[in-house]
Amino acid sequence: MVNHKGPLKQDLMDARANPAVYQQVWKTPLWKACCASPGCCVASFACLYCAAYKLHKRALYNDMSRYICCAGTCPCSGRLGESQCPELCMALEVFFCFPINVSTTRFMIQDQMRIQNTQCDNCLIGTMLICNYLACLCSIFACIASLAGMPGSEAVEEASQLINCIAQWLWCSVCTCMQVQHHVQLNERDRTMGPGANPMNAPVQQEMARAG
């Protein structure tokens, strides 16, 4: 498993935005992923963490010797005892770093199958992130208003709670759709490609460019 750091990490980020390199599309679009596998949708929504753990492990072909914390995206990755107890490390990653776990599962699938997000996928994911940033800012503002005793601070607090509620529901919904999309794509991968490939290979075009 390749540790995505430095120039290689940037190469992969650039490649994912290059349709000449990542020419494939997801088996099912994000906006209708839940219709493609209703059972997985229910299971993922009921237990996001369990679904994330299972899908990340499947992305590694159930070979935990390939596991590195956060797929090598953090400075401490590879130095947290993953080789001694990968299952426990992944469980802790899913619980404490859930967004990173889901994102790196997505990147692994994209890197292996050369899949590019559609504009609709990017729009849904971007909307989810913006709403969560907005909810965070509103919470900070409501806290400051309350501490400062500003007029109307109660109304600001209620508005902040409403925005937080909307952001959380959006977060859970999009994450569920993402995990169903991953599930469907992994089924397609296992059906067409079979086991054994390295799920984190860099694109050949990028490797050749560096070699030159």
- Cα dihedral 202, 69, 177, 115 in deg (nearest 10): 0
CA atoms of 175 and 123, how far apart (whole Å)? 14
**What is residue 43's three-state secondary structure?**
helix
Please, what sign has the CA dihedral across residues 42, 43, 48, 54? negative
User: What are the tens digits of pLDDT across the range 95-136?
Assistant: 999 999 999 999 999 999 999 999 999 999 999 999 999 999
State what percent of residues in the chain have pLDDT above 90. Answer: 62
Residue pair 86/79 in contact (Cβ under 8 Å)? The answer is no
Structure tokens given for 157: 């607090």
User: Side-chain half-sphere of 37: how many Cα atoms within 13 Å?
Assistant: 23
pLDDT value for 180: 97
In the chain, how long is the greatest CA-to-CA distance?
65
Q: Nearest CA to 201 among 12, 35, 5?
A: 12
Which amino acid appears at position 111 of this protein?
D
Which amino acid appears at position 193 of this protein?
M
pTM over 0.85: no
pLDDT band at 192 (very low <50, low <70, confident <90, very high): confident
Q: What is the mean pLDDT of residues 42-63?
A: 94
Residue pair 49/94 in contact (Cβ under 8 Å)? The answer is yes
pLDDT value for 212: 41
Residue 129 exposed, middle or buried by CB count within 10 Å (0-12, 13-18, 19+): middle
Which residues, other chains included, contact 25 with Cβ-Cβ below 8 Å and sequence gap of 6+?
115, 116, 118
User: Side-chain half-sphere of 206: how many Cα atoms within 13 Å?
Assistant: 20
Higher pLDDT, 205 or 41: 41
CA atoms of 47 and 176, how far apart (whole Å)? 9
Residue pair 55/206 in contact (Cβ under 8 Å)? The answer is no
Neighbours of 151 (CB within 10 A): 8
- Reply yes or no on whether the pLDDT at 2 is more than 60: no
pLDDT value for 97: 92
